């Protein structure tokens, strides 16, 4: 099996992409399994991986994006290909990455169909028990990262409320509302509560709320059902709102309306991690310029579709480690047999030989 690892192209003008689709460690392990790996020069440099690191691992460094694509049977991406890459995609090629087809350009869908490409979306690969094996570590990272982001945005110089998340004796801590009690929401809740913030988690799934209640121990985590009444009430006193809603392969539901945003305190913060799937807050957006931090009605919004790129080295290691068992199977069995034999990979198919599955059509 021949893998190609092109350097990622930023999705928007002002949003950089530092992650890479495969670490040198992953390349070495795949090569030991009998694969060939071609890596575009400087593909991993922003994540701290040099061309020499890849060469030492046994990979071949190539000096154009075109060569990384043209040599590969399977292209390993972090995000779906950008417009500049469409012409480089080969007939019948397999592309793996966080595809988020629901928000893809029509030109990308046309390219997939015309070139009979097979698309594997890491975000919809699903195990028998319903777990999303490659999404989980990224959700964990985003949940923990949310505290760093929120703390910085709340600071006075950027227009934030000027409050400390954990408070100090005699001064109350921040009020943090988390929409979604899955992996991201759970990690965010425990991290915020761990520094002393008051945390409220809302979800429609009683099992998730029970799980969170059992694992939050003595920390300040209150769970509520995500009814419209509860969301409206929470928004009025929130200092930080975290959007952590995930519907596998589908557009995120809008839980927070623009009218609710207007009731929030000036300088409060919304971090919408659902933005890759359209966002769960009505005022969440990515502007054509790629500006992902902006203010609406005095409320600071953070809507970065690739937020874990802020910790690119950790993210690349996490991606490689979680995807490796499936890449190893593809190497040893061939793609077609791996797709047949492994239901987790099969559930990750957005498009097979150019035919987009109906349930994922935008």
Alpha carbon distances (Å) from 228 to 126, 232, 281, 329: 30, 6, 13, 45
Q: What is the pLDDT at residue 345?
A: 97
Answer yes or no: pTM beyond 0.95. no
Q: What pLDDT digit, counting tens, does each position of 205-263 carry?
A: 998 888 887 766 667 789 999 999 999 999 999 999 999 998 888 889 999 999 999 99
Q: In whole angstroms, give the CA distance from residue 141 to residue 17.
A: 16
pLDDT, mean of residues 67-83? 96
Instruction: Go through 23-58 and write b for each residue having 16 or more CB atoms within 10 A of its CB, e for each that does not.
Output: bbbbbbbbbeeebbbbbbbebbebbebebebbeebb
Q: Say whether pLDDT at 288 is over 70.
A: no
Taken in order 291, 296, 301, 305, the sign of the CA dihedral is negative
The CATH topology of domain 2-131+311-360 is Rossmann fold (3.40.50)
Q: Do domains 2-131+311-360 and 135-309 have the same CATH topology?
A: yes
Q: In whole angstroms, give the CA distance from residue 216 to residue 186.
A: 9
The residues annotated with a catalytic role in the active site are 100, 276
Alpha carbon distances (Å) from 245 to 136, 142, 282: 13, 12, 13
Q: What pLDDT digit, counting tens, does each position of 29-61 carry?
A: 999 999 999 999 999 999 999 999 999 999 999
Confidence of residue 289 (pLDDT cuts 50, 70, 90): low
Q: Do 226 and 255 contact (CB within 8 A), yes or no?
A: yes
Q: In whole angstroms, give the CA distance from residue 89 to residue 93.
A: 7
Domain residues of the chain, as ranges?
2-131+311-360, 135-309
Nearest to 300 by CA among 239, 231, 348, 250: 239
The CATH topology of domain 135-309 is Rossmann fold (3.40.50)
Residue whose tokens read 């029970």: 210
Q: What pLDDT digit, counting tens, does each position of 77-132 carry?
A: 999 999 999 999 999 999 999 999 888 889 999 999 999 999 999 999 999 999 99
Q: What is the pLDDT at residue 217?
A: 63
């Amino acid at each position: 099996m021949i893998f190609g690892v092109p350097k990622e192209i930023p999705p928007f003008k002002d949003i950089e992409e530092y992650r890479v689709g495969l670490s040198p460690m992953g390349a070495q392990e795949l090569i030991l399994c009998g694969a060939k790996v071609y890596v575009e020069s400087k593909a991993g440099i922003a994540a701290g991986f040099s061309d020499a690191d890849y060469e030492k691992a046994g990979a071949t460094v190539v000096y154009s994006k075109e060569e990384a694509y043209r040599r590969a049977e399977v292209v390993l991406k972090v995000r779906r290909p950008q417009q500049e890459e469409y012409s480089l995609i080969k007939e019948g090629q397999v592309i793996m990455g966080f595809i988020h087809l629901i928000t893809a350009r029509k030109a990308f869908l046309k390219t997939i169909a015309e070139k009979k490409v097979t698309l594997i979306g890491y975000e919809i690969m699903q195990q028998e028990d319903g777990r999303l094996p490659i999404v989980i570590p990224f959700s964990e990272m985003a949940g923990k990262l949310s505290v760093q982001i929120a703390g910085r945005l709340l600071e006075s110089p950027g227009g934030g409320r000027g409050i400390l998340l954990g408070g100090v004796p005699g001064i109350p801590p921040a009020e943090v509302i988390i929409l979604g009690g899955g992996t991201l929401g759970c990690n965010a809740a425990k991290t915020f509560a761990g520094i002393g913030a008051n945390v409220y988690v809302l979800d429609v799934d009683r099992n998730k709320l029970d799980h969170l209640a059992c694992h939050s121990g003595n920390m300040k985590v209150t769970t509520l059902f995500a009814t419209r009444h509860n969301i409206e009430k929470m928004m009025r006193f929130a200092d930080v709102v975290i959007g952590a809603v995930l519907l596998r392969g589908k557009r995120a539901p809008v839980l927070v309306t623009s009218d609710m945003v207007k009731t929030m305190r000036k300088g409060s913060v919304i971090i919408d991690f659902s933005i890759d799937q359209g966002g769960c807050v009505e005022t969440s957006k990515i502007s054509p310029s790629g500006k992902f931090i902006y203010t609406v009605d005095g409320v600071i919004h953070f809507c970065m579709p690739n937020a874990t790129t802020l910790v690119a080295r950790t993210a690349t290691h996490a991606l490689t480690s979680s995807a490796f068992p499936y890449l190893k199977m593809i190497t040893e069995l061939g793609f077609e047999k791996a797709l047949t034999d492994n239901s987790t990979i099969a559930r990750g198919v957005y498009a097979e030989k150019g035919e987009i599955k109906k349930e994922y059509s935008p």
